[in-house]
Amino acid sequence: MAELEPADLTAVAIQVAEQAAQHVRTRRPEVFGSGVTKTDAPQSVSTKSTDTDPVTIVDTESESLVRGLLASLRPGDAVLGEEEGGSVEVPSGVRWVIDPIDGTVNFLYGIPAYSVSVGAQVNGRTVAGAVVDVVRGTTYSATRGEGAYSDDGSGPVRLRTNPIDKVGLALVATGFGYGSARRRVQGELISALLPHIRDVRRIGSAALDLCMVASGAVDAHFEHGLSPWDWAAGSLIAEEAGAVVTIPDATSRSAAGNVTLAMAPGIADELGGLLARLGALEPIPD
């Protein structure tokens, strides 16, 4: 199929991510109950890279739904997804990079911070993307060169990073991998960083962390070992809101341990320098 304008790809990303988010919203109470007490449904949960890396039946359903919608809306485009995979090579033409639930641990426990992320890449570079905060019902989206927006149902709002200029006041989101060796190094890094910043947040969905940099809900985000489905859409949303963004190569996967970093521009030099001195710009392989 001929390549569309990036804005057309954004419209597809929004449509697909919102439909998948609606499915995830509907299915959570069906599978895990709707009360405040965590309900186990062992038959609906298995694990992946480690015993603490879960995948639920709803992750699988959401990815199937996204793939089905993309096959009908954009037949012939390549797809890379967290659960069903895809080619490591970057294809020519459009590749959709999807995370059917980003924040699966939160989804499992009933913590209201999980999302569906759909990005469109051309030559490994994201040109369009949407992230839907499932519980809030907010859609974040961006088209390369055309800005980033959020929409909670009342119309699009242009996103801008915070006008912060002091690292000492920065609220920094981060996340930790599923393997214990990397987590030890990540923990040491946080203990070295913490005295220099306002505080840290570990939200539990990297895609939402990046959208929160865009909306000003945090001032920066960094994490080692993200895969393209975690950062594809969110990094563009952060960048289009004005963030200074560093992402791994599109062929890089979690095991390589490369850093993803998004910072409000007023603290980018100072925070980037601090992270470099702490060794935080180096990979933390698994």
200 phi/psi in degrees, rounded to 5: -115, 155
Please state the closest distance from residue 5 (CB atom) to ligand IPD, in A: 29
CA distance 174 to 205: 9
Please state the closest distance from residue 176 (CB atom) to ligand IPD, in A: 6
Would you list the DSSP string of 24-87? HHHHHHHHH-SSSS----GGGEEESSSTT-EEEHHHHHHHHHHHHHHHHHSTT-EEEETTTB--
Q: Is 228 among the residues that bind ligand IPD (CB under 6 A)? A: no
Contact 4, 124 (CB under 8 A): no
Contact 141, 237 (CB under 8 A): yes
- What x-and-dash track marks residues 74-113 binding Ca ion by CB under 5 A? -------------------------x--x-----------
- Sequence ranges of the binding site for Mg(2+): 82, 99, 101-102, 230
Q: Which does 286 bind (CB under 5 to 8 A by kind): Ca ion, ligand IPD, none?
A: none
Binding ligand IPD (rule: CB under 6 A), the pick from 56, 62, 104, 162 is: 104
Q: Is 175 among the residues that bind ligand IPD (CB under 6 A)? A: yes
Please state the closest distance from residue 89 (CB atom) to Ca ion, in A: 21
SS3 of residue 16 by DSSP: helix
Which residues of the shown chain bind ligand IPD in the complex (CB under 6 A)? 82, 99, 102-104, 175-177, 204-206, 223, 226, 230
State the residues that interact with Ca ion by CB under 5 A. 99, 102, 230
